[in-house]
């Protein structure tokens, strides 16, 4: 019921309106003990703090004009050529997703891509679809890229640098599969040249915002290396941009508070408690039969496949909350295989991730509809191939880099 309400959001209410009472009911009924609730809150607390800081950082980057500049850069480099524009969208979406999280790509980049396609007079569909696919697939690289990554990062015991090192090859493989599939699937749209569109403006990059993002990313590496929660680096970056935006009256304290999405953060915590209760009352035993300790290539493929299927059945956030306790004892390799499944798998269905559902709302707000059959066919083309190649790349990375150190 919590997931259904999160997907539908009846009366436009926040997901937390349904999740928080559900968690309280489970506590009062004894389905989950108070010590278990405290343990779950202790696990998710740092993750939620990290998420809040990154969401604020992304919104402040938007206030600085970073995403608008990305649109101007894409338009200028593409020179009204749809295939070249697709390359620029893939590059921008992959980097933004990796560094500023998938929410930045869905919420802030998608409208920019719509505007850029309209300015150049090209068909928007391939480029807009790329935003939702890459918000999932391209979120494999850093712990900050996705909430699922933050959870897996906490469970893996890896450093920030080791995590990124192990996920670099899978990230490249998954994005490459997406690009090849898009070039073929949307060939007709990409073959239509642009006959209209004004000459693109020369982009002026917001140097301060780019520098803060670069320093923040370096801070993630440094804090992780010394055993400090990387949320402090994200908070410092957000504080720098926030102080500048407030001084220049580009934002207000209330707007910064809204950017943190407190309701969504409460939803994440409440959902974690609900999922923990379900695990403790039988689901863990049932799923345990499908999760093996084998960290060879066949075992990793099996774990990723289970994670992908579960993500499409119950959404990727509950899926990762369910599977991490079952796979963490097998080591970081199994945890990262879960991550591949829950990040790549959601591109198969609308309900696979909350990011995809949010993307649908944005697309409809631009008077564009998403065809279920087309979305599913594209998912069938990209998800299986992306999973197989990215798991193989992870297996190779594990042998080349290892998980120690």
Q: Are residues 269 and 2 in contact, defined by beta-carbon separation less than 8 angstroms?
A: no
| CA–CA distance, 147 with 156 (Å, rounded to integer) | 14
Give the span between the Cα atoms of 325 and 336, in whole angstroms: 13
Secondary structure class of 101 (helix, strand, coil): coil
- pTM for this entry: 0.77
pLDDT of residue 197: 46
The DSSP code sequence of 124-146 is SHHHHHHHHHHHHHGGGSSGGG-
| Residue ranges in 79-124 assigned as alpha helix (H) | 82-100, 102-103, 110-120
Q: Return the closest-CA partner of residue 320 out of 55, 143, 106, 94.
A: 143
Please give the Cα distance from 52 to 229 (Å, whole number): 13
Task: Decide: 136 and 351 in contact? Cβ < 8 Å.
Answer: no
Of 87, 92, 105, residue with least CA distance to 179: 87
Q: Are 75 and 119 in contact (CB under 8 A)?
A: yes
φ and ψ of 289, to 5 deg: -70, -20
pLDDT score for 93 = 92
pLDDT in tens, the chain (405 residues): 887 777 677 777 777 888 899 999 999 999 888 888 898 888 778 778 877 887 788 888 888 888 888 888 887 777 767 788 899 999 999 998 998 778 778 877 888 888 888 777 888 899 999 999 999 999 999 988 888 898 899 888 898 889 999 999 999 999 999 999 999 999 988 887 654 444 556 767 888 988 988 888 888 778 766 777 777 888 898 899 999 889 888 888 888 888 887 888 888 888 888 888 887 787 766 776 666 667 789 999 999 999 999 888 877 888 888 888 888 888 899 999 999 999 999 999 877 887 787 787 778 767 677 787 899 999 999 999 999 999 999 999 999 987 764
First to last CA, the chain: 42
Which pLDDT does position 198 carry in this prediction? 46
Instruction: Report residue 33 CA to chain centroid gap.
Output: 31
pLDDT tens-digit profile of 343-370? 999 999 877 887 787 787 778 767 677 7
Contact 141, 171 (CB under 8 A): yes
Taking only Cα atoms into account, the Rg of the chain, rounded to an integer number of angstroms, comes to: 21
What ranges do the domains of the chain cover? 33-400
The 3-state DSSP class for residue 161 equals: helix
Please, which residues have CB within 8 angstroms of residue 311's CB and are 6 or more apart in sequence?
Answer: 319, 320, 341, 342, 345, 346, 352, 353
Query: Which pLDDT does position 295 carry in this prediction?
Result: 76
Taking alpha carbons only, the member of 51, 110, 5, 7 closest to residue 269 is: 51
3-class SS at 203? coil
Q: Please report the pLDDT score of residue 289 as a whole number.
A: 66
CA distance 357 to 27: 29
Res 108: pLDDT:
77
The helix (run of H) or strand (run of E) holding residue 356 is helix 354-365
Q: What separation in angstroms does the CA of 83 have from each of 56, 74, 112, 315, 352?
A: 33, 12, 17, 32, 28
Q: What is the pLDDT of residue 329?
A: 87
Residue count of the chain: 405
3-state secondary structure of 365: helix
């Amino acid at each position: 019921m919590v997931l259904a309400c999160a997907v539908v959001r009846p009366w436009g209410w926040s997901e937390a309106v349904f999740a928080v009472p559900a968690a309280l009911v489970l506590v009062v009924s004894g389905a989950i003990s108070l010590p278990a609730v405290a343990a779950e809150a202790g696990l998710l607390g740092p993750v939620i703090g990290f998420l809040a800081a990154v969401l604020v950082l992304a919104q402040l980057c938007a206030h600085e004009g970073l995403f608008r500049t990305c649109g101007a850069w894409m338009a200028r480099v593409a020179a009204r050529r749809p295939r070249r524009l697709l390359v620029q969208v893939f590059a921008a979406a992959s980097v933004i997703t990796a560094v500023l999280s998938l929410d930045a790509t869905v919420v802030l980049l998608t409208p920019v891509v719509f505007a850029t396609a309209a300015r150049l007079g090209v068909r928007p569909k391939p480029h807009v679809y790329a935003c939702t696919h890459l918000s999932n697939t391209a979120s494999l690289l850093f712990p900050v890229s996705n909430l699922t990554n933050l959870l897996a990062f906490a469970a893996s015991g890896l450093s920030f640098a080791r995590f990124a090192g192990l996920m670099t090859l899978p990230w490249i493989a998954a994005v490459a599969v997406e690009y090849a599939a898009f070039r073929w699937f949307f060939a007709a749209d990409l073959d239509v040249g642009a006959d209209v569109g004004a000459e693109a403006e020369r982009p002026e990059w917001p140097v301060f915002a780019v520098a803060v993002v670069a320093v923040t990313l370096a801070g993630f590496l440094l804090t992780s290396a010394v055993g400090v929660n990387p949320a402090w680096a994200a908070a410092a970056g957000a504080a720098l941009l926030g102080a500048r935006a407030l001084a220049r009256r580009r934002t207000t304290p209330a707007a910064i508070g809204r950017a943190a999405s407190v309701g969504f953060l409460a939803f994440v915590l409440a959902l974690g408690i609900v999922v923990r209760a379900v695990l403790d009352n039988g689901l863990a035993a049932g799923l345990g039969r499908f999760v093996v300790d084998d960290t060879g290539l066949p075992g990793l493929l099996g774990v990723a496949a289970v994670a992908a299927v579960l993500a499409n059945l119950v959404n990727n956030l509950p899926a990762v909350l369910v599977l991490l306790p079952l796979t963490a004892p097998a080591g970081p390799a199994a945890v990262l295989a879960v991550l591949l499944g829950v990040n790549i798998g959601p591109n198969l269905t609308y309900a696979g991730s909350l990011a995809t559902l949010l993307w649908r709302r944005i697309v409809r707000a631009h008077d564009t509809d998403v065809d279920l059959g087309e979305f599913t066919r594209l998912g069938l083309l990209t998800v299986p191939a992306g999973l197989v190649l990215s798991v193989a790349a992870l297996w190779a990375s594990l042998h080349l880099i290892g998980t120690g150190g």
